[in-house]
Amino acid sequence: MEPLTSPPPIRRLNPENPEPATEVLPPARNGNGHAPQQSGFIAAKRSVGAPQFSIRRMEIDEVSVHYGAKEAVKRVSLPVRQGEVLSLIGPSGCGKTTLLRSLNRLTELTSTARLSGRILLDDVDIKLIEPTLLRRRVTMVFQQPNPFPMSVFDNIAYVLREQGSRRGRKKTLEPAVLSALDRAGLLEEVKDNLDHPALKLSGGQQQRLCIARALAAEPEVLLLDEPCSALDPKSTQVIEDLIVKLRDDVAVVIVTHNLQQAYRIADHVAFMYLGDLVEYNSATALFGSPREKRTQEYVSGAFG
């Protein structure tokens, strides 16, 4: 592929020209899985196969976020689909976390934040949904595991209890708690003592507990903000496997600065730089043969 002489126009999603609901992706790579030499991206094996299906759940439409005078996110449009993992990548300060937080209106907690454009959840503008209700349908897991200072059981039961006037006692809530722990892959390790203080779990277990907590709310979209950056490689692997397993039940959006991780688990990748959406494509395409020069520079490690 010859070098680009000038950057091609950035492709934006166009309602008149909708993205096909499913894409035909090349078969999953086995073996030593080197990406084509053109992109300069050296990848390990991809953990995901092609998604079985995808349903469009959220639509980000020409969204800009301003913090006072500074524009953190500049007119980004993306789809978020259930059945696949969307990864936002980019160097620090590119706006990926801001974009993520705007999906469940956490940006509103900063008084200087202004959002323009629309974000639709199942075709309803999220500005019209009450924030607490929205955040039960779009839950978030943070970079630093933040289990509450209670027992494992209470952490998950907290979500169930506080979401309404349900005054659950242990017996009634137990099935839901166990199921959430199971989906997060933590059940085996804690089922003997659900009253164990959550803060005494290891880092990886705490993060899985946070994921279980987020799942207990039965969300439609799960947002993950660099969930593994504070964890060791083994825990990271466990959580990555978990995320891939979850994509059928919830739409997953994960922000990561770890390119290998994005390649391993994402189906679609959006590369952002200084607030702009530079490129949005399937993972294999973006890492294998990126359209934009900036993308190629980033994935080959020229900067960031």
Partner 1 sequence: MNEEFPQEYGPKWSDQRVERMLGVLVVAVVGLLLAMIVTVFVRGWPSFSHNGIAWFGPGGAVDEQLNAIFLSGQSGAEYVYTFHGWPLIWSTILITGGAVLIALFSALFVAVFIVEFAPEWMSNVLQPVVRFLASVPSVIYGLLGVLVLVPFIGNHLISEEQKASVAGVISLTGYSLLAAILVLTLMIAPLMVSIFTDGLRSVKPGWIEGSLALGVNRWRTTWKIGVRSARPAIVAGTVLATARAIGEAVMLAMISGSVGFAPNPADGLIFIYEPSRPLAPTIVKNIDQLSSPPANATLFAIATVLLFSAALFSLTGYIARRSMRKYGTA
Partner 2 sequence: MLLLRGKDGESAVEGSATWALSDRIGLAICWALGLLFCAIAVAIVVFLFVKGISYLELSMLTTPASAGFTQAESGGFSDALFGTLIVAVMAIAVALPTGVATAIWLVEYGRPAALARITEATIEAIAGIPSIVLALFGTVIFSSTALGFLSRTSEGVVFGRSFFAASAMLSLVALPLVVASTREGLNSIPRHVREASYAVGKTKAATVRRILLPTSRPQVATGAMLGLGRIIGDTAIIVVLLGATQNFAPVEEAPFPLDYLRGAGTTLTNFVYEASPTGNLNQPEKAYAAAFVLLLMVLVLNGAVDVVHRRARKGGTWSH
* Residue ranges in contact with partner 1 by CB under 8 A: 104, 106, 109, 132-137, 139-140, 142, 144, 146, 148-151, 158-159, 162-163, 197-200, 210, 213-214, 217
Partner in contact with 165, chosen from partner 1, partner 2, none, beta carbon below 5 to 8 Å by kind: partner 2
Dihedral in degrees, nearest 10, Cα atoms 291, 297, 303, 304:
30
The stretch among 6-14, 107-115, 187-195, 288-296 that binds partner 2 (CB under 8 A) is 107-115
Partner in contact with 146, chosen from partner 2, partner 1, none, beta carbon below 5 to 8 Å by kind: partner 1
Question: What are the residues whose beta carbons fall under 8 Å from the beta carbon of 162, sequence distance 6 or more?
Answer: none
Q: Which is nearer to partner 2, 138 or 283 (CB)?
A: 138
Judged by CB under 8 A, the residue of 1, 69, 109, 128 near partner 2 is 109
Tokens of 285: 């395409």
CB-CB contact of 209 with 155 (8 Å): yes
Q: Going residue by residue from 135 to 174, which x/- string records binding to partner 2, judged by CB under 8 A?
A: -----------------------------xx---------
Minimum CB separation of residue 78 from partner 1 in Å reads: 20
Angle of helix 203-216 relative to helix 170-183, nearest 10 degrees, comes to 120
Minimum CB separation of residue 255 from partner 2 in Å reads: 20
Q: Quick check: 70 binds partner 2 (CB under 8 A)?
A: no
Partner in contact with 28, chosen from partner 1, partner 2, none, beta carbon below 5 to 8 Å by kind: none
Question: What are the residues whose beta carbons fall under 8 Å from the beta carbon of 92, sequence distance 6 or more?
Answer: 257
CB-CB contact of 145 with 97 (8 Å): no
The stretch among 56-64, 89-97, 130-138, 146-154 that binds partner 2 (CB under 8 A) is 130-138
SS3 246: helix
Partner in contact with 62, chosen from partner 1, partner 2, none, beta carbon below 5 to 8 Å by kind: none
The stretch among 17-25, 33-41, 101-109, 260-268 that binds partner 2 (CB under 8 A) is 101-109
Phi, psi of 299 (to 5 degrees): -70, -25
CB-CB contact of 235 with 33 (8 Å): no
Partner in contact with 104, chosen from partner 2, partner 1, none, beta carbon below 5 to 8 Å by kind: partner 1
Q: How many residues bind partner 2 (CB under 8 A)?
A: 12
CB-CB contact of 59 with 37 (8 Å): no
SS3 162: coil
Minimum CB separation of residue 220 from partner 1 in Å reads: 12
Phi, psi of 268 (to 5 degrees): -120, 145
Partner in contact with 164, chosen from partner 2, partner 1, none, beta carbon below 5 to 8 Å by kind: partner 2
Tokens of 213: 């907590």
Dihedral in degrees, nearest 10, Cα atoms 98, 282, 51, 243:
-40
Judged by CB under 8 A, the residue of 14, 30, 32, 111 near partner 2 is 111
Measuring CA to CA, which residue among 112, 27, 19 is closest to residue 65?
112
Using CB under 8 A as the criterion, which residues of the chain lie in contact with partner 2 when the complex forms?
105, 108-112, 130-133, 164-165
